[in-house]
Amino acid sequence: MGAMQDSTDTEMAAAAGPCASIPAEHMAFIRQVLDRVGDKWSMLIIAVLENGPLRYTDLQRRIPGISQRMLTHTLRQLVEDGLITRTAYAEVPPRVEYALAPLGRGLHEIAMRLIGWAADHHGEILAHRSRAAERD
């Protein structure tokens, strides 16, 4: 046998807890979606689109630290999943806008709460990290 089996081939349903109601054959896809929407850049893009459509450069200005490559990649994935829309206008120069799709609006409140929680607990988490580093 030599080769390892893919975990999706042998997955069983969880016996209890939040995963118990999810069929085993759906778990790999659920994890993939959670990876995508739980990504820091996805969360921030969903959050900044709150007040309506934005152009690429506006998104880049409102999300400090995101590279062009990562912004382009994340926008493409969010459009692919139906969380945001991409509208290209036939103008000179061309204009492209990104906006929350209905599916993304449902995720927006969750993203805002997670970002708010991280901001509210910033100092507390830094203190814990500092204490942990001192023990190492």
Query: Which residue segments constitute the domains of the chain, with CATH numbers given?
Result: 22-135 (1.10.10.10)
> Average pLDDT for residues 63-68, to the nearest whole number?
96
> Average pLDDT for residues 103-132, to the nearest whole number?
89
Tokens of 10: 């042998």
Of 54, 59, 39, which is closest to residue 115 (Cα–Cα)? 39
Q: What confidence tens digit (pLDDT) does each residue in 3-41 have?
A: 444 444 456 666 777 788 878 888 888 888 888 888 889
Of 121, 120, 113, 59, which is closest to residue 86 (Cα–Cα)? 59
Helix or strand (DSSP H, E) at 77: helix 68-80
Q: In this predicted structure, what is the pLDDT of residue 28?
A: 84
Question: Does pLDDT of 89 surpass 90?
Answer: yes
**Is the entire prediction scored with pTM above 0.85?**
no
How many helices and strands, by DSSP H and E, does the chain display? 7, 3
